Chain A
């Protein structure tokens, strides 16, 4: 899932500064699951902003609504009237949700209430960890299902570097050394030999480095083809 964190309330206040009517829009998918921008959080954020701006002596109207999925235009239609009535929309979606609202409602002014952090999963209650860098060319088959691009601090394809100690990365004792995990897993599967192959330089063209990415599936498109 996409894992995100709320911006500090003070920053949100700055972002909505000057607006009479503010609409906080939550999202029912990833950010609900990571407790950053679901219905509950949208309610708390709008209440907090109402109270905070009132205490500051310049109260702002803050309402909230949550859509099932902020990252698809069709799910945004139901908030059209609320968006029109708002001076500022504070999105509690990920960066995709913020942009989907801006694209779908060109007249609206949308600001982000979250910092979109990474693609990951919860490893225990209240803890999320990064797992995928969306590099566009999956290498998990050669590294035993553990991604060095996302999980090694240096994205080494032929690790480990000299900074691995007792299973953790030298940058932080709380960060696991991805290459220790890879070596352990490949050993346990009797596939350590596979790690002796030199992985060539990666093709980063399919990653963000190749420019903004786009996938076109002609088989799924609804356009009519010319003869």
Chain B
């Protein structure tokens, strides 16, 4: 599509595959690609090839964890060339309202039409902790700004966009289990009111807790106003599961899943890592990964049964090869054509 003009007349906000998939009532699948810390295009092409056909669109992270990487829009251009649809991630950490709008005009002109609006991880966590951050606007104001660029044809300052407006299918994130937990559905409501067409959630491992969150979301009627994609990701090892449970805010990992991951490596449980051969280590890793994929498949099936869940966002960063078996295992392959 040249740009959004055609979609304005056909009833779609942007007319992206992701939007059409959701509007058609299909259970959507999005994936995620973390761009390299280099100018290496082949890495993006390789990852895109692994995800092509099993995801309706793939998020391209924007300096994730505040580490400098190839830009989301640059990597997104490569993804488009590979025949895959990107969801550009845009954070408020590194750009002010001028830079964000300029980049979004550019990305739209390059054919990108899905956007995920984020505040951005604080630079304290990244590889340039001495940097100045921006945070001119926040993620919610970003959602509103981009929606207004599309629907009102105005820049944030109120001036008209003369000529083609950027037309994005606008997304926002939700962290259902972060504190203050009771406020989370209301913050989601604010994002929807600001114009979020779709929502991708933080990783869900605790389905009953998520179901409780969704109860409130439905009570507020939000599932009728936006498409909610539940975040899932395969566990790689019991250590990773324990680390996330302990250290990552807003991620709940039930002990039962940690136990399952531990049990998957039970055959090697009485061996110290130092005494294990390379072959034993890779066999244990394969057993863990197989269980991680199996758990992810089960999570997707359970999440799909929750009313108001319109799709899943599969986050398998640096393990993109896991996505296809997960999507297949969950009965979501091949993807419908829209």
Contact = CB atoms under 8 A, between A and B. Distances in A.
A167 B125 CA distance: 19
B136 A204 contact: yes
Contacts of A161: 119, 139, 175, 178
B229 interface: no
A184 B186 contact: no
Interface of B: 92-93, 97, 119-122, 124-125, 133, 135-141, 144-145, 156, 173, 175, 178-180, 183, 186-187, 189-190, 193-194, 202, 249-250
A158 to B, nearest CB: 4
Contact of A163 (B133, B156, B249): B249
Contacts of A201: 97, 136-137, 141, 145, 156
Contacts of B250: 162-163, 165
A128 B249 CA distance: 26
A52 interface: no
Interface of A: 153-167, 170-172, 177, 179-180, 183-184, 192, 195-196, 198-202, 204
A183 B183 CA distance: 8
Given A201-B137, A204-B136, A158 B249 contact: no
B211 to A, nearest CB: 19
A170 B193 contact: no
Contacts of B144: 198, 200
Contacts of B135: 154-156
B179 A170 contact: no
Contact of A164 (B122, B133, B140, B249): B249
B100 to A, nearest CB: 11
Contacts of A195: 183, 186
Contacts of A179: 180
A172 B93 CA distance: 18
Contacts of B138: 154-159
B178 A164 contact: yes
A165 B120 CA distance: 17
A165 B122 contact: no
Pairs A-B, 8 closest by C-beta atoms: A162-B175, A165-B249, A158-B140, A156-B138, A162-B178, A164-B179, A171-B124, A201-B137
B191 to A, nearest CB: 9
7 contacts: A154-B135, A155-B138, A160-B179, A163-B249, A165-B250, A201-B145, A204-B136
Contact of B190 (A165, A180, A183, A198): A198
Contact of A196 (B92, B97, B179, B190): B190
Contacts of A158: 138-141, 187, 190
A196 B183 CA distance: 10
Contact of B179 (A153, A177, A199, A204): A177
B190 A167 contact: no
Q: Which of A154, A170, A183, A196 has the most CB of B within 10 A?
A: A154
A180 B180 contact: yes
A199 B137 CA distance: 10
Contacts of A171: 122, 124-125
Nearest to B194: A198
A154 B133 contact: yes
A153 B97 CA distance: 19
Nearest to A167: B179
Q: Which of B133, B139, B180, B193 has the most CB of A within 10 A?
A: B180
Nearest to A184: B180
B124 A165 contact: no
B72 to A, nearest CB: 19
Contact of A198 (B119, B175, B193): B193
Contact of A154 (B122, B179, B180): B122
Q: Which of B140, B144, B173 has the most CB of A within 10 A?
A: B140
Nearest to B141: A201
Given A198-B140, A201-B141, A204-B136, A160 B124 contact: no
Given A164-B180, A165-B250, 8 more contacts: A154-B133, A154-B135, A163-B250, A165-B178, A170-B249, A171-B124, A177-B179, A196-B186
A172 B249 CA distance: 12
Given A156-B119, A157-B141, A162 B249 contact: yes
A172 B122 CA distance: 11
